[in-house]
Amino acid sequence: MDATTLEADDPKALADWLGTRGFEATPELTAWLAKYVTDKWKITAFLIGTEQRDGDRFEMATKAVKLTFKTEEPFYPYREPELPPAPEALDLPPRMLRVYFVSNQRYTGRLGAASWNASTLFSAPLELPSELWTSNAVNRTTVFIDDASPRIARDEVTFVPHTDQQVVKQPPTVIDRPRKITIPLEGIALVLIVGFLIIRRRSSRAGAE
């Protein structure tokens, strides 16, 4: 996997640069890039390769990628290039988006000026691996789940402190697995016979006395 960090003054030139390096350069991509170019964002382009040579579809996996930068407010880059037809007109299966947010308190998300329609799966302090996080004081982890379909992704998700700082955890999952025990009929018959003989023997002794 190769990565290149870019900054441009012209969204069309940036889209063309990406197109010459194997990315799909479309008018929708150029329109999507325009806001980031205007706002002087830096774009990181990832090129993921595979040793497979044939086939229309490839399966591959990557390791986690850590990007570090300064920002006035925490956000998630939620916007996507808008392809025709409009997302509202598409009948698409759900796409689950899971966002992990780590801070010193519980946060909630906003999609532009509106609330973000994502559920909170978890929010509580966690002991995080040192390779992921170095501050023990900042370990309040909140997990958001967005399974909207279609996903209207025309703005970024920004995060603000939540008015409710209570811990959020899912109830434990109880899995009931019945266990079947097979008892052979011969064993049951043997137990009945032995029991009958014992009872009969005791009855005989009682009669003799």
pLDDT (0 to 100) of residue 53: 66
Taking the mean position of all CA atoms in its chain, how far away is CA 22? 28
Q: Indicate the pLDDT class of residue 79, thresholds 50, 70 and 90.
A: very high
What is the extent of the structural domain holding 148?
71-81+90-173
Same domain, 148 and 75: yes
Would you say residue 132 lies in a domain?
yes
Would you say residue 59 lies in a domain?
no
Same domain, 96 and 36: no
Would you say residue 27 lies in a domain?
yes
**Cα–Cα distances in Å, from 205 out to 104, 193, 208, 209?**
82, 18, 5, 6
Task: Summarize pLDDT for 166-205 with one digit per residue, the tens.
Answer: 999 988 888 888 877 776 666 666 767 766 667 666 655 5
Would you say residue 38 lies in a domain?
yes
Would you say residue 25 lies in a domain?
yes
Same domain, 155 and 120: yes
Would you say residue 97 lies in a domain?
yes
Task: Summarize pLDDT for 146-176 with one digit per residue, the tens.
Answer: 988 778 888 999 999 999 999 999 888 888 8
